[in-house]
Structure 1
Amino acid sequence: MLSIISLYAAPGTNVLIGDGEKGIRGDALNAAELCKIGGYSKTQGYRLLQSLIKKKVLGMLPIYGEEKVYVVNPDYYINGREVLPEIYRYFECEEGPKMDTPPTDPKSSNPLGE
């Protein structure tokens, strides 16, 4: 599944975003969209996503309030330019991927990498 969904990782942030054909262009992909992209049923896909999160391959990055987005661990995949240091720190957390504040790109105010 990672090899398929990682193609949707935004350069610089590794946030999984839609391309217009799969999901809304520029918007973060949700679990149902990722399951559809991977060709899994919702039940299988949700279990697989949870397994990838538990293994720190994927993370659920908080961005605005309660909103969270899926992000790929840069140790497994980097799309394009160098990933923000905050993304690396997010996955290096001892207790698992957790972060109180979203990463910010000094060149862009959009955490989705647009």
Structure 2
Amino acid sequence: MDERYVDQATGEVLRQETIFLRSDQTFKVFRKGGGRRIKFVKFRTSHRVKRLIASMPNDELVFFFRIALYATEGYNFLMGDNERGRRGVPLAATDLAKIAKCSVSTARRHLKNLADRTMIKLTETRDNQKVWAINPLYAINGKEPAPELLQLFSQEIKESGERVDGE
């Protein structure tokens, strides 16, 4: 029988659950209903990434972390979400400047610098729209990168010798 309890302070209905775990297992509880409001953008912490991040200017680093939140799941394409840009439409430098709270010229400079470091690349979507994609060696939205994303950054991934397949 499912026993329910009422929190006297909030009036929230609670239920008790028992979870058995092995010593090497962990679990995390996500709020039901989070759905679209939750993104699983993971920033990599390999030695290579740590060294690169340590060498980056702070304003460029902040720019990268802010735009990474707009990466699409699996593909890491920087796409609009109806708050910034239109949903499913690639974000332009003007949109990225608004997200990062900087000027358009600064956003363009940061995009060029990030592209020079191969942290991002300009590519095309299936319907031939130009879009920025984030290298999965640095950040990934979702559980694992899509094959198209791995193909786009295949040279960089091969040179790094790192795994990016969802581990």
Instruction: Tell me the TM-score range normalised by the shorter chain.
Output: 0.7 to 0.9
CA distance in 1, matches of 2:92, 2:151: 23
Supply the AA of the counterpart residue of 2:117: K
Q: Please, which runs of 5 or more residues in structure 1 have no aligned partner?
A: 95-114
- Structure 2: distance between partners of 1:27 and 1:81: 22
Unaligned runs of 5+ in 2: 1-62, 157-167
The corresponding residue for 2:137 is 75
Q: Which of 16, 22, 28 is 2:84 aligned to? A: 22
Deviations 1:86-107 (A, max 9, x none): 312322337xxxxxxxxxxxxx
Correspondence list, 1:28-107, <5 A:
28-63=90-125, 64-65=127-128, 67-93=129-155
How many residue pairs end up in the alignment?
93
Q: String of CA shifts for 1:4-50, please: whole Å, max 9, x gaps.
A: 01000000100011111111122111111111111111111111110
Separation (CA, whole Å) in 2 of partners of 1:56 and 1:89 = 14
CA distance in 2, matches of 1:25, 1:68: 15
Larger Rg: 2
Deviation string 1:33-84 (CA, Å, 9 cap, x unpaired) is: 111111111111111110001111111012345x310111111111113111
